[in-house]
Structure 1
Amino acid sequence: MKAEYDLSQMKSRKNPYASKLKKSVTIRLGEDVVDYFKAMAESTGVPYQSLINLYLRDCVHQHRTIDIAWQSSPKASSGQ
């Protein structure tokens, strides 16, 4: 092994893992949601945050969308 290497002639290349980098975010989740994924984490041996990320990634790949239809309360619709 050489004592020194000349890296000035070395060609650079893009990081092959750059597309897999994760971004830290803070979100508020319901306690029941966290408990659900923590229980799944215990049975699978996969950290619960990784499970949440895997589930959300699957939603992205499947192009899932959410259909939220808020129901109005009877009092609001009757004008009382």
Structure 2
Amino acid sequence: MSKPTKTVPNFASEAQERAFWEKNDSADYQDWSKAKRVVLPNLKPTTKTISLRLPQHLLDSIKAAANARDVPYQSLIKVWLQEKLHSH
């Protein structure tokens, strides 16, 4: 059974809209029972920061390889790890 919904007002600014939604329940303005799930395939996955200890000569070699490809060394490490993972 659908609940009658109120009309969302027009906002002059994003700050005004933010203030409105902080004080109002969206269920009064939207019938969430009719909502559909969406897939957003182009979103980047969440990343997690890690600490990795490498011998200095290995890190220098990775940085040189990244510099030769004109990419950040951390990005190159991620590409190499992904490639290695998929090769098994």
Unaligned runs of 5+ in 1: 64-80
Identity of matched residues, %: 31
Counterpart-to-counterpart distance in 2, 1:8 and 1:38: 52
Count matched residues. Answer: 61
Unaligned runs of 5+ in 2: 1-8, 12-16, 18-25
RCO higher in structure (CA 8 A, sep ≥6): 2
The alignment yields a C-alpha RMSD, in angstroms, of 2.9
* Residue in structure 2 matching 1:46, options 71, 81, 86: 71
Structure holding more helix per residue: 2
What residue is the counterpart of 1:70 in the other structure? none
TM-score, length-normalised on structure 1? 0.57
Moved over 6 A (4+): none
* Residue in structure 2 matching 1:26, options 51, 58, 66: 51
TM-score, length-normalised on structure 2? 0.53
